[in-house]
Amino acid sequence: MKAGKIILFVLAGFALVFSFLFLLSSGGQTGGFNQIYVGLGLAGVAFILIFFATRLKAPGDSTQNVTVNIDLPGEVGMDTIKCKSCGGVLSEKDIKMVAGAPVVTCPFCGTTYQLSEEPKW
């Protein structure tokens, strides 16, 4: 899916470059109407390709836009946080702000570590 998007953008880039070449070459010559049409057609193809490329991109981005707000300790209650050492489920009570950084103290194994370094739990 991502490769297809890149190919579409590359093709669109080539189409744009060639359309400009056709338009530029048509300017100096008399009776270059065909080249203008070819240039405009290539530009249209390029914009269609870009349109499809951006459409391909849309569904992937919609899932990425759901960003997890790490605003401790208010938002953390939504997700279950697991201890990196023993895998025990941690609660908000186990998270403390130490020097501006959220620090987790596991009640099961007693491990203490910072949360901010691992946004993905």
Minimum CB distance to Zn ion, residue 91 (Å): 12
Q: Apex CA 16: angle with CA 3 and CA 27, to 5°?
A: 170
Rank residues 55 and 82 by Cβ distance to Zn ion and give the closer one.
82
Rank residues 51 and 108 by Cβ distance to Zn ion and give the closer one.
108
Minimum CB distance to Zn ion, residue 88 (Å): 5
Minimum CB distance to Zn ion, residue 85 (Å): 4
The burial of 115, by beta-carbon neighbours within 10 Å (0-12 exposed, 13-18 middle, 19 or more buried), is given as buried
Dihedral sign (CA 66, 98, 110, 94): negative
Provide the binding-site residues for Zn ion, judged by CB under 5 A.
83, 85-86, 88, 106, 108-109, 111
Identity (one letter) of the amino acid at 48?
I
Rank residues 32 and 102 by Cβ distance to Zn ion and give the closer one.
102
> Structure tokens of 19?
């359309």
